[in-house]
Amino acid sequence: MHPAPSLIAFTTLSGLGFGLMAWLGIDATPPTFWVAFWFYALAFGLAGAGLLASTLHLGHPERALKAFTQWRSSWLSREAWLAVIALAVNGIYAALLVFTGTHVALLGWLGAAIAGVTVFATSMIYGQLKTVPRWNDWTTPMLFVAFAVTGGALLSGHVRVGGVLLLILGALQLFAWARGDTRLSGSGTTMATATGLGTIGAVRAFEPPHTGSNYLLHEMVHVVARKHAQKLRMIAFGLFAVVPWVLFVVLPFSHLLAAVAILSHLAGTLIARWLFFAEAEHVVGLYYGKR
Amino acid sequence: MCGPFWRTGRTSLPTQTNKKLGLVIDLDTCVGCNACVTACKGWNTENYGAPLADVDAYGEAPVGSFLNRIHSYEVQPDQGVAQLIHFPKSCLHCEDAPCVTVCPTGASYKRVEAGIVLVNETDCIGCGLCAWACPYGAREMDAGEKVMKKCTRCVERIYNENLPEEDREPACVRTCPTGARHFGDLSDPDSAVSQLVADRGGIDLMPEQETKPVNQYLPPRPKDTATDVLAPLLDITGEEPKGFLGWLDKTLKKLG
């Protein structure tokens, strides 16, 4: 699939923002006044930037409000609703902390739960697609939520639990990569079933329907990036898991190291998310003899 | 439409359609002439919704939307010669259309009337998720209008009483010079198209995707064994030809 920068920014930044909101929401002794202001400015900044980035992907962003109508059947519509509700609930909770110093624990927990469900809904936009076997798997929602929870833990300064989460996230990502590599061949969809000609013999694409490129090839048959996939996986893994783990868990805590660790985690997450799109094979590629 | 509230949105699929108007495409007869592609582009540029874009048509990287495209495949059986098969592909108007249920705005919908899947372009935000959900590559984002384009089953032709009756079928079917495209109601087991599917063993594309496509494809018939009357004259290891060919063989030898 085409790794659109708008979608990488949308999923990564909104996940991180909602992850941070969730950690602030369940904090028994949350920050108040100015400290709370800066934490929530970061959380809302990340989530807001991500959600705004998603509208850049639209052909007609001026009609974006219509995307709230089909929540009964569409995960994209549900994600839109949940994101707005998560921002509203956490916004009220944050406003009470920032302006009055009041901690309404129940509201915080509610906000954290909705933030979590929002990230789950984001992941299901991709996880629901049977046409992309690598995504159509339980590892997709697990990974999106794990990235959000881990990134949120690091940003909110939960160093000890963050270290454990980094290990879990790293293991989950390695497992998802290995499993993802077998998903297309395991899906049962091949050139033979796509064309129905497999009963006659071996099918080979002889000539495509167009001499140039088209929307389908550009959007769904992105094969350029795959040759360096293994190297990019190692770079991503090093940046989002290994470097932050060393800086947080092995070395003594300092704010400078923590900042470097978080930036490294963000960079690694962006590369991992880029791979999430670039490596995913859409079954329509089979009509072109590609994967 | 009735049912529980979470199944009554506009992009929820109808539980039943009154007909299943579909195409039956004969892969045995199609010669890959692209007349259906041209007729489709012509009709749909002037009718339903925005015109089909042709961006940079005479430049270095032309790109445009088509609702119907023809692939060509080489199929090599275990024994015998390879076959070249032309393969027209357009929207299959699936019963369980995944493109419809993913739509966040209600722009994509499946009509109860004949089960036609359409896009209401004024509601389309151009997110592209429906094209991702379609396993067949039947939807293309228009490079000019930034809305999703797809086969309309020529909905404004097939019910149009201002057209002569023989023209009330999709443009691709009307134009096909070899009769490789058939149009009719596939929910009626007695219709001509249903009979054709039953006789020729019509198939679903990608049945494992569980989309229940309405359009059916008729596999190519087995090929005849090749007969070539002049071949013995070129076969240097063959037996001496007899009769007329024997006379021709001798005469040709005298010439050389």
pLDDT digits (tens, 9 = 90+) for A175-190: 999 999 999 999 999 9
**B46 contact partners, CB below 8 Å, separation of at least 6:** none
Using CB atoms, pick whichever of B69, B98, B141 lies closest to residue A59. Answer: B141
CB atoms within 10 A of CB B128: 23
pLDDT-wise least confident of B4-13, B25-34, B111-120: B4-13
Query: What is the distance between the alpha carbons of residues B58 and B60, in angstroms, rounded to a whole number?
Result: 7
- Selecting from B8, B101, B140 the residue whose C-beta is nearest the C-beta of A215 gives B140
Average pLDDT over residues B176-196: 97
Write out the H or E segment, with its range, that includes residue A170. helix A159-186
Residues A195 and A271 in one domain: yes
A–B CB contacts, 8 A cutoff, strictly below: 205
> What number is the average pLDDT over the span B159-180?
96
- A208 with A171: CB under 8 angstroms? no
Which of these three, A79, A107, A128, is where a domain ends?
Answer: A128
CB contact under 8 A, A200 and B83: yes
Q: How would DSSP label each residue in B31-95?
A: ----HHHHHHHHHHHHSSSSPPPEETTTSSS-EE--SEEEEEEEEE-SSS--EEEEEEEE----T
Evaluate if residue B78 carries a pLDDT over 50.
Answer: yes
Residue of A155, A87, A88, A77 lying closest to A122 (CA atoms): A77
Q: Rounded to a whole number, what is the distance in Å from the CA of A79 to chain B's nearest CA? A: 10
The answer to whether the beta carbons of residues B23 and B181 sit under 8 Å apart is yes
Instruction: State how far the Cα of B176 lies from the Cα of B28, in Å rounded to an integer.
Output: 14
**Is the Cβ of B5 closer than 8 Å to some Cβ of chain A?**
yes
What ipTM was estimated for this complex?
0.94
Does residue A41 lie within any of the structural domains? yes
Specify the pLDDT at position A255: 87
Would the CB atoms of A196 and B205 count as touching at under 8 Å?
A: yes
Chosen from B81, B125, B142, B209 to mutate, greatest number of chain A CBs within 10 A: B125
Say if the Cβ atoms of A58 and B126 lie within 8 Å: yes
Position A149 in a domain: no
Mean pLDDT (chain A) is 95
C-alpha span between A165 and A256 (Å, rounded): 21
**Which residues between 116 and 145 in chain B have a beta carbon less than 8 angstroms from any beta carbon of chain A?**
123-129, 131-137, 140-141, 143, 145
Give the pLDDT of residue B173: 98
Q: Do A131 and B98 touch (CB under 8 A)?
A: yes
pLDDT digits (tens, 9 = 90+) for A115-161: 999 999 999 999 999 999 999 999 999 999 999 999 999 999 998 89
Percent of chain B with pLDDT over 90: 72
Number of domains in chain A: 2
Contact B206, A283 (CB under 8 A): yes
Beta strand pairing status for B216-218 and B54-55? unpaired
The predicted pLDDT at position B150 comes to 97
pLDDT at B216 over 80: yes
Residue B73: how many CB atoms within 10 A of its CB? 22
Q: Does residue A223 sit within a domain?
A: yes
**End position of a domain, from candidates A128, A144, A176:** A128
**Is residue A141 in a domain?**
no
In this structure, are residues A81 and A68 in contact, taking their beta carbons and an 8 Å threshold?
A: yes
What is residue B2's predicted lDDT score, i.e. its pLDDT? 44
pLDDT surpasses 70 at B3: no
Angle of helix A33-56 relative to helix A5-25, nearest 10 degrees, comes to 150
Cβ contacts of A225 within 8 Å, gap of 6 or more: A3, A232, A274, A275, A278, A279
Taking the C-alpha atoms of residue A20 and residue A115, their distance in angstroms, rounded to an integer, is 9
Shortest CB distance from B147 goes to which of A60, A72, A204?
A60
> What pLDDT is stored for residue A58 in this prediction?
95
A63 is a domain residue? yes
* pTM attached to this predicted model: 0.90
pLDDT of amino acid B143? 92
Q: Do B11 and A189 touch (CB under 8 A)?
A: no
Q: In this predicted model, which residue has the larger pLDDT, B3 or B119? A: B119
* Mean pLDDT lowest among A19-28, B10-19, B58-67, B122-131: B10-19
Write the residue in B125, B145, B147 that is nearest to A66 by C-beta.
B125
CA–CA min distance A210, chain B (Å)? 8
Which of helix, strand or coil describes residue A85? Answer: helix
Residue span of the structural domain in which A43 resides = 1-128
pLDDT for B1: 39
Residue A120: half-sphere exposure toward Cβ, Cα within 13 Å = 10
A128, A199, A212 ranked by CB distance to B102: nearest: A128
Q: Is B243 exposed, middle or buried (0-12, 13-18, 19+ CB in 10 A)?
A: exposed
User: Beta strands B216-218 and B21-26: pairing type?
Assistant: parallel
- Asked whether residue A166 falls in the same domain as residue A124, the answer is no
Query: Residue B236 has what pLDDT?
Result: 62
Domain-located, residue A250: yes
Residue type, B12: S
With beta carbons under 8 A apart, name residues in chain B contacting A74. 9, 11, 101-104
Quick: pLDDT tens for B225-244: 767 777 777 766 567 777 88
Buried b (16+ CB within 10 A) or exposed e, B209-237: bebebbbbbbbbeeeeeeeeeeebeeeee
On whether residue A135 sits in a domain, the answer given is: no
pLDDT at residue A291 in the model: 73
The reply to whether residue A63 touches residue B123, judged by beta carbons under 8 angstroms, is: yes
Q: Which of B62, B107, B92, B100 is nearest to B186 (CA)?
A: B92
Which pLDDT band, with edges at 50, 70 and 90, does A225 fall under?
low
Do A194 and A118 lie in one domain? The reply is: no
A117 plus A181 within the same structural domain: no
- Mean pLDDT lowest among A36-45, B13-22, B151-160: B13-22
